[in-house]
Homo-oligomer: A and B are copies of this chain.
Amino acid sequence: MTSEAAEGARRRWKQNPEAVQEDILRVAVAVFSESGLSGARIDEIAARTQTSKRMIYYYFGDKMGLYMRALEAAYAKVRAGEDQLDLGTLPPDEALARLVAFTFDHHRSNPDFIRMVMIENIHNAETLAASEVIRNMNVSAIEKLRDICRRGEAEGLFRPGLDPVALHWQISALSFFNVSNRPTFSALFGEGFFSEEGQKALRRQIVDSLLAEVRPRDTPRS
């Protein structure tokens, strides 16, 4: 904080490279997520920036370089938000419920990130695969779940043999689809699901469904 403040003070008059890059990245995420990789125009990104097109090429090389950095920025922001969540002190079932509900809400409040991931999937995740930065960020998400599973199994609350990655898949699928496919789904079946009450009911249903999933199977004959 102090070093950043000093940095800001030292360069307060003109030329602030870090701020310029952040500015560009912020706008790039917005424009790419609005228009897609081919649809996004460098000129539009530049126009919505406080700097110029020249600077984009100076700092990021070319369009793909900028796109990759924007993708990384989108992931970084979302993962940072997730780290706010502390589940270590909660009992396993409550921790899982909290994690699912949080993921659902968190995806909803980060549509830019969702759209960046959609775009990346359209392009076969080639940029993501080329970015070591991102791959290193996604370990923590699974670690949280692995810990919950381990504790739940130890306490006999969860059935044994749970796969944290499979759980993550399910939680992601429902929370992601809720944001990614809202346009087509609501165009075909109405906006009802996306009202405040609709979303609340949906979230509860998803939490319940996941909790039922991890509970030990009924053993009728025992």
A residues touching B (Cβ–Cβ < 8 Å)? 35-39, 115, 117-125, 128-129, 134-135, 138, 142, 165-166, 168-170, 172-174, 176-178, 180-190, 192-193, 202, 205, 209, 212-213
- Residue in B closest to A137 when the chains form the complex, CB atoms: B188
CA distance A188 to B130 in the complex (A): 11
- Residue in B closest to A176 when the chains form the complex, CB atoms: B177
Q: Are B213 and A209 in contact (CB under 8 A)?
A: yes
Residue numbers in B under 8 Å from A180 (CB-CB): 118, 121, 180
Q: Are B36 and A187 in contact (CB under 8 A)?
A: no
Partner of A115, one of B122, B174, B213: B122
CA distance A190 to B135 in the complex (A): 11
Q: Are A187 and B128 in contact (CB under 8 A)?
A: yes
CA distance A166 to B128 in the complex (A): 33
Residue numbers in B under 8 Å from A185 (CB-CB): 169, 172
User: In the complex where A177-B172, A177-B173 touch, is A187 in contact with B122 (Cβ < 8 A)?
Assistant: no
Residue numbers in B under 8 Å from A38 (CB-CB): 35-36, 38-39
Distance to closest chain B CB from A68 (angstroms)? 14
CA distance A125 to B115 in the complex (A): 13
Q: Are A135 and B174 in contact (CB under 8 A)?
A: no
Q: Are A181 and B122 in contact (CB under 8 A)?
A: no
Question: Could you give 11 example pairs across A and B, Cβ below 8 Å?
Answer: A37-B39, A38-B38, A117-B181, A120-B183, A121-B181, A166-B202, A169-B202, A173-B173, A174-B174, A176-B181, A209-B212
CA distance A179 to B44 in the complex (A): 32
- Residue in B closest to A180 when the chains form the complex, CB atoms: B121
Partner of A36, one of B122, B169, B186: B122
Distance to closest chain B CB from A49 (angstroms)? 21
Which of A37, A177, A182, A209 has its CB near the most chain B CB atoms (within 10 A)? Answer: A177
Q: Are A187 and B118 in contact (CB under 8 A)?
A: no
Residue numbers in B under 8 Å from A134 (CB-CB): 188
Residue numbers in B under 8 Å from A172 (CB-CB): 177, 181, 185
